[in-house]
């Protein structure tokens, strides 16, 4: 472990001062910065305030995770269980709706968006999901409502007009097989809203992402917007369409992904092997896939051991720099201002 950490420190030093993989294919365009759930390091995630701040900080895309209400309105929540991200537990009128469900093979207890109409959900207010790590964000608890996809699209369009730069959206379809199985499919409603916004072409400022495979294959037949296959560092797709994410990252696996997707969104840990760059970025580029790793966060639990304990956000910024020097095409971060500044060489 010590040897690996030292190797990583040396690697990061090389990355920051000289660039580390000159032989890799360089992205044709500047890497994009994707505001993960908005500027969620500084505002409660998946709120219009978090998305607005991310745009103000220069993010290229804002990312809503999408789940449906009982009346099939797509709203932005990290999960359909909302006990940890809203004040639903303080609403006695909804106490009886606390239940246990099986989501993608795991039992989850709480309150679920699909059991609320949108009007009911609108009476709730957002809360910080990680109060122990982000106590400053708790000052905003209770201020913001749960936004709809339509509101997020409207925000992106309005701010694009105001700033003169294109603000895109990067929606994730959460648990698509689960929702289809309970008669609340999300793929078609998502495509319909994008089409209504005029976003049904390859140059639209949209990427749709999913950890599952079957719904991306289905979306390939429904829309022309770009699709991203998300990849975990362990396990496999919940729809069992592939045995493992690891198998999907082999050269042969990546070629198969390229049949239906335009890129991959790997766990950032997958960029490394024994403290050195893995072959993932180069292999993905050879397959014609973009690479957008997730998620760059400032807090020590989310950083590689070698970068923990550093002042401010310097550890995260070094983490981002090392990834950029692998010639990734974009990155997800909870702190988009830092992502933009590191990408653009701003100290």
| Average pLDDT value for residue range 83-101 | 98
pLDDT in tens, 266-321: 999 999 999 899 999 999 999 999 999 999 999 999 999 999 999 999 999 999 99
Annotate 292-324 with b (16+ C-beta within 10 A) or e (fewer): bbbbbbbbeebbbebbeeeeebebbbbbbbbbb
Instruction: Identify whether the C-beta of residue 117 lies closer than 8 Å to the C-beta of residue 94.
Output: no
pLDDT in tens, 17-67: 433 333 334 455 899 999 999 999 999 999 999 999 999 999 999 999 999
How do strand 290-291 and strand 263-266 relate by DSSP bridges? parallel
Residue with tokens 């201002």: 337
pLDDT in tens, 209-233: 999 999 999 999 999 999 999 999 9
Counting residues of the chain whose pLDDT is more than 90, the rounded percentage is 91
Residue with tokens 């989310």: 302
pLDDT on residue 27 = 52
Contact partners, residue 312, CB within 8 Å, separation at least 6: 298
336 phi/psi in degrees, rounded to 5: -60, -30
Residue with tokens 């893995």: 278
pTM of this structure:
0.92
Is pLDDT above 70 for 13?
Answer: no
CA 34 – CA 59 distance, rounded (Å): 6
Instruction: Identify whether the C-beta of residue 146 lies closer than 8 Å to the C-beta of residue 122.
Output: yes
What are the start-end ranges of the E strands in the chain?
A: 32-36, 61-63, 65-68, 74-76, 99-103, 106-110, 168-169, 172-173, 207-210, 226-231, 263-266, 272-273, 276-277, 290-291, 330-333
What strands, in cross-sheet order, belong to the sheet with 32-36?
Answer: 168-169, 61-63, 32-36, 330-333
Residue with tokens 């500027």: 39
CA distances from 127 to 28, 55, 82, 111, 138 (A): 39, 21, 10, 14, 7
Residue with tokens 């360089």: 26
Secondary structure element (H or E) that encloses residue 220, with its range? helix 214-220
Q: What is the DSSP string of 142-200?
A: TS-PPPBHHHHHHHHHHHHHHHSSPPEE--EE-SHHHHHHTT---HHHHHHHHHHTT--
CA distances from 40 to 72, 179, 189, 228 (A): 25, 26, 26, 21
CA distances from 89 to 42, 74, 85, 86, 141 (A): 23, 22, 10, 8, 13
Secondary structure element (H or E) that encloses residue 218, with its range? helix 214-220
């Amino acid at each position: 472990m010590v040897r690996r950490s030292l190797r990583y420190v040396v690697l990061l030093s090389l990355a920051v001062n000289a660039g580390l993989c000159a032989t890799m294919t360089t992205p044709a365009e500047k890497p994009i910065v994707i505001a993960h759930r908005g500027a969620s390091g500084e505002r409660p995630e998946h709120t219009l305030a978090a998305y607005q701040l991310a745009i103000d900080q220069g993010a290229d895309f804002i990312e809503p995770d999408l789940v449906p209400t009982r009346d099939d309105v797509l709203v932005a929540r990290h999960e359909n269980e909302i006990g940890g991200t809203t004040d639903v537990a303080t609403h006695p009128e909804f106490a009886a709706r606390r239940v246990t469900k099986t989501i993608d093979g795991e039992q989850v207890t709480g309150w679920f968006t699909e059991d609320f109409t949108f009007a009911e959900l609108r009476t709730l207010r957002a809360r910080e999901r990680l109060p122990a790590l982000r106590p400053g964000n708790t000052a905003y608890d209770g201020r913001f409502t749960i936004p709809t996809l339509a509101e997020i699209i409207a925000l992106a369009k309005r701010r694009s007009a105001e700033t003169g730069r294109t603000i895109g959206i990067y929606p994730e379809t959460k648990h698509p097989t689960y929702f289809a199985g309970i008669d609340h499919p999300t793929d078609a409603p998502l495509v319909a809203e994008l089409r209504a916004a005029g976003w049904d072409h390859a140059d639209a400022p949209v990427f749709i992402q999913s950890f599952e495979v079957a719904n991306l294959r289905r979306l390939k037949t429904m829309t022309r917007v770009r699709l991203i296959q998300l990849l975990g560092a362990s396990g496999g797709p919940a729809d069992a369409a592939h045995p493992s994410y690891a198998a999907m990252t082999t050269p042969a696996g990546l070629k198969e992904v390229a049949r239906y997707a335009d890129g991959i969104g790997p766990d950032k840990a997958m960029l490394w092997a024994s403290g050195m760059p893995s072959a993932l970025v180069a292999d993905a580029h050879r397959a014609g896939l973009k690479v957008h790793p997730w998620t760059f966060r400032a807090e020590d639990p989310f950083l590689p051991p070698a970068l923990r304990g550093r002042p401010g956000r310097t550890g995260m910024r070094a983490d981002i720099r090392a990834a950029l020097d692998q010639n990734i095409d974009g990155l997800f971060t909870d702190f988009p201002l830092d992502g933009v500044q590191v990408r653009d060489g701003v100290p």
